[in-house]
């Protein structure tokens, strides 16, 4: 986890606005390749003029659907490979993998297969029929678990999954996602719960890349970063 200072020129007066954020990205080249893949298949959509509305009611200039990558063999192989490398290097081999339903069920299974590790997935809430399970699959109680997410936004659904695992006596050692919006308040939620988080790529890297490529103006980049800093009050 490292602190990055990000500068953008603002408006016609040429003054600069300084953004400070903590990044959960471990390898910038991997982050950039991940973003290249996601934009290539239109899994990431940006629109500052006509923002998307999330189920939470938050107005967002970005929509990210990482489930699309499952349809592309080269991309899903890359994502599973890089996430597997992080898990092996950071957490070792005496662990289990758990995917968060529904977006991370498939990628979590691919990672577990590559690492030859036990796998389960966790639902947002227990089923209301059958065995009424919230956690599907068998993992020994007390096992060390690494949780896989496709996307980290506000952190609420991710922490809901983590709490469900903890309630069943699993030891959650960390979470790894494909992409994170890297909201400060979300990062703080994980920190409060003592959950280390990392992502292959994040919103800050995305903005930096498309700005350097000339795909957006400096004013548009500043507007995107303003959203990241305060999404609930962004207009």
pLDDT at 158: 96
Q: Give per-residue pLDDT as tens, 50-79.
A: 999 998 889 999 999 999 999 999 999 999
What one-character DSSP code corresponds to residue 94?
A: S
pLDDT at 79: 98
Q: Which residues contact 64 (CB under 8 A, 6 or more apart)?
A: 38, 43, 44, 45, 151, 179
**DSSP three-state, residue 74:** helix
pLDDT at 20: 54
Burial 80-115 (b: 16+ CB within 10 A, else e): bebbbebbeeebeeebbbbbbbebbbbbbbbbbebb
Q: Give per-residue pLDDT as tens, 128-184.
A: 888 889 999 999 999 999 999 999 999 999 999 999 999 999 999 999 999 999 999
Beta bridge pairs of residue 17 = 8
**Domains (range + CATH), the chain:** 2-233 (3.40.50.2020)
In which residue are the tokens 């980290």 written? 152
* Cα 123 from Cα 130, distance rounded (Å): 14
Percent of the chain surpassing pLDDT 90: 80
Name the least confident of 16-20, 168-172, 208-212.
Answer: 16-20
3-state helix, strand, coil in the chain (%, to 5): 40, 30, 30
| Closest to 121 (Cα-Cα) out of 106, 131, 132 | 106
């Amino acid at each position: 986890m490292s602190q990055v200072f990000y500068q953008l020129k603002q408006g016609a007066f040429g003054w600069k606005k300084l953004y400070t954020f903590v990044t959960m990205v471990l390898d910038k080249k991997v982050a950039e390749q991940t973003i290249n893949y996601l934009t290539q298949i239109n899994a990431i959509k940006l629109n500052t003029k006509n923002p998307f509305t999330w189920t939470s009611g938050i107005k967002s200039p970005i929509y990210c659907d990482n489930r699309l990558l499952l349809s592309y063999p080269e991309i899903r192989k890359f994502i599973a490979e890089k996430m597997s490398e992080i898990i092996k290097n950071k957490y070792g081999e005496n662990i289990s993998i758990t995917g968060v339903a529904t977006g991370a069920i498939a990628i979590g299974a691919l990672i577990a297969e590559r690492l030859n590790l036990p796998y389960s997935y966790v639902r947002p809430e227990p089923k209301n029929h059958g065995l009424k399970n919230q956690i599907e699959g068998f993992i020994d109680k007390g096992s060390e678990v690494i949780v896989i997410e496709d996307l980290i936004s506000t952190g609420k659904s991710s922490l809901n999954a983590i709490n469900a695992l903890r309630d069943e006596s699993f030891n959650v050692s960390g979470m790894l996602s494909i992409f994170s919006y890297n909201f400060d308040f979300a990062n703080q939620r994980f920190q409060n719960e003592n959950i280390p988080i990392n992502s292959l790529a994040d919103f800050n890297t995305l903005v930096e890349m498309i700005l350097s490529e000339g795909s957006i103006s400096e004013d548009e980049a500043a507007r995107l970063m303003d959203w990241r800093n305060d999404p609930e009050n962004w207009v």
